[in-house]
Amino acid sequence: MPSANQHIAIAGAGLVGSLLSIYLAKRGHNVSVFERRPDMRQATTDRGRSINLALSNRGLRALEEVGLAEELKKVAIPMHGRTMHDRQGQLTFQPYGKEGQYINSVSRSNLNIVLMNKAEALGVKFYFNHRIASVDFETTTLLLQNQESKIESHKFNAIIGADGAFSAVRGSMQITDRFDYEQNYIAHGYKELHIPAGATGNFQLEKNSLHIWPRESFMLIALPNPDGSFTGTLFFPFEGKQSFDSITTKTEAEFFLKEIFPDAFALMENPAESFMSSPASSLVTVKCFPWTKNKTLLIGDAAHAIVPFYGQGMNAGFEDCRLLNEWLEKTMEWNEIFSEFQRQRKPDTDAIADLALHNFIEMRDLVGDSKFLLRKKIEARFNQHFPEKWIPLYTMVTFSDDIRYSRALAIGQKQKKIMDEVMQTPNIETTWEQLDFEAIVSKL
């Protein structure tokens, strides 16, 4: 590692910036975190986005390393599978993995606060209301606009941009020569719809599930909160026949929600009003390369923002921190460490970006399809008989913390080819248990 007590700047006090500051402080570095927004622990309004996230094994492994996993598991709600709701309110349950494998619904803002408190306890300094104006990569200098709108200039040993999908650090990199960059929006946006707790504080839907209302070209999902409520999110096209654009009055919104999601609608508080009062948010995938110039590095969403449909955005960012921390064991300069990190990590974040885009189709459409559910059931059986040999893609991504995303994607593609063939078997619905599991699995 670079000698201890180096001055390091982190841009962004979000989940990834805060976690990284802990890793670096534990290594004896002098860490300053600059955040554009006010301190979410003090602000009465704007406590960050009120959403919850699915914390899974990759994220948990990093939290374990910094000693926070147990504390966070206590406030997390395990979700063992998906509960699908059809138009008649009929439910189907599909487990995510084996008994004991689950993802965790956690509040983004609570998690962020836990991380910031821990970082401060380790001596990390947070500077809120500080906006990154630009970065001088040659001299590793940050230009900051402080609370009084004055420009400050500070030199560091290393700068890490953990400032999210619209990263200002990346903005400075983007105007240097030969910086590959792409941002792609999907055709869908989202709006949040709240399902409150029942009269006795009870959960009005199965607590330990991620709920999905798959409707082919769009979907509603809901994740449980500790207070008995659910945060619902409607993913819906911006434009077209059935879209945010096409619904322009409260009456239309009410008609649409009631018609398409009858059981959810019945549980919501003023859903049509919520629908009309907030603008739809957009969903972007960002890829870029390089992630580093000299002693400045991009990490997390700043380097690779992805869509939320695999529940891996935060988990991938936390895994970034864990892997970067491993590189810090080596006796190398910052620029060398950053180069090695990006070289090794980039194929994996490209892979999870593509997996996340594809999973939207699975969630909104395929999970409502009986053939698809059968396919998952057969794969689960393969895994049961040959646990080392056949690990379903979802399990590799979500419940593993050591299979690289790029490897999971490659294996998943092979599995898909094999399963496409299997599903061609005549009368597969009734005969699947007679398949020669060993012969099939050995094709992988």
- Report residue 57 as tokens: 């094994």
CB-nearer residue toward a copy of itself: 212 or 303: 303
Among 70, 138, 148, 182, binds a copy of itself (CB under 8 A): 182
Amino acid at 202: N
CB-nearer residue toward a copy of itself: 56 or 285: 285
CB-nearer residue toward a copy of itself: 212 or 234: 234
Using CA atoms, how far apart are residues 287 and 61, in angstroms rounded to an integer?
25
Give residue 81's Cα distance to chain centre. 17
Using CA atoms, how far apart are residues 204 and 264, in angstroms rounded to an integer?
10
Among 178-186, 198-206, 326-334, 402-410, which window interacts with a copy of itself (CB under 8 A)?
178-186
Helix (H, G, I), strand (E, B) or coil at 383: helix
Among 184, 278, 384, 425, binds a copy of itself (CB under 8 A): 184
272 and 250 in contact (C-beta within 8 Å)?
Answer: yes
Determine if 185 is a binding residue for a copy of itself (CB under 8 A).
yes
Among 147-155, 175-183, 221-229, 323-331, which window interacts with a copy of itself (CB under 8 A)?
175-183
CB-nearer residue toward a copy of itself: 182 or 402: 182
Min. distance of Cβ 245 from a copy of itself in angstroms?
Answer: 12
Torsion angle of C-alpha atoms 112, 115, 120, 121, degrees rounded to 10? 140
Among 180, 402, 433, 436, binds a copy of itself (CB under 8 A): 180
Determine if 49 is a binding residue for a copy of itself (CB under 8 A).
no
Among 176-184, 248-256, 310-318, 407-415, which window interacts with a copy of itself (CB under 8 A)?
176-184
172 and 300 in contact (C-beta within 8 Å)?
Answer: no
- Report residue 172 as tokens: 């400075």
CB-nearer residue toward a copy of itself: 133 or 373: 133
Min. distance of Cβ 283 from a copy of itself in angstroms?
Answer: 9
Exposed (0-12), middle (13-18) or buried (19+): which is 260, by Cβ within 10 Å? middle
Min. distance of Cβ 267 from a copy of itself in angstroms?
Answer: 31
Binding mask 264-303 for a copy of itself (x = CB under 8 A): ------------------x---------------------
Determine if 402 is a binding residue for a copy of itself (CB under 8 A).
no
CB-nearer residue toward a copy of itself: 184 or 442: 184
Determine if 138 is a binding residue for a copy of itself (CB under 8 A).
no
40 and 47 in contact (C-beta within 8 Å)?
Answer: yes
CB-nearer residue toward a copy of itself: 148 or 182: 182
Helices (H), 271-365: 271-277, 301-304, 313-327, 334-364
DSSP string of 104-155, one letter each residue = EEEEHHHHHHHHHHHHHHTTPEEE-S-EEEEEETTTTEEEEE-TTS-EEEEE
Helix (H, G, I), strand (E, B) or coil at 43: coil
Determine if 181 is a binding residue for a copy of itself (CB under 8 A).
yes
Q: Report CA-CA distances (Å) from 286 to 29, 180, 297, 358.
A: 30, 11, 16, 15
Using CA atoms, how far apart are residues 32 and 417, in angstroms rounded to an integer?
49
Among 70, 138, 148, 177, binds a copy of itself (CB under 8 A): 177
Min. distance of Cβ 244 from a copy of itself in angstroms?
Answer: 12
CB-nearer residue toward a copy of itself: 74 or 178: 178
Give contact residues for a copy of itself (rule: CB under 8 A).
Answer: 177-185, 238, 282
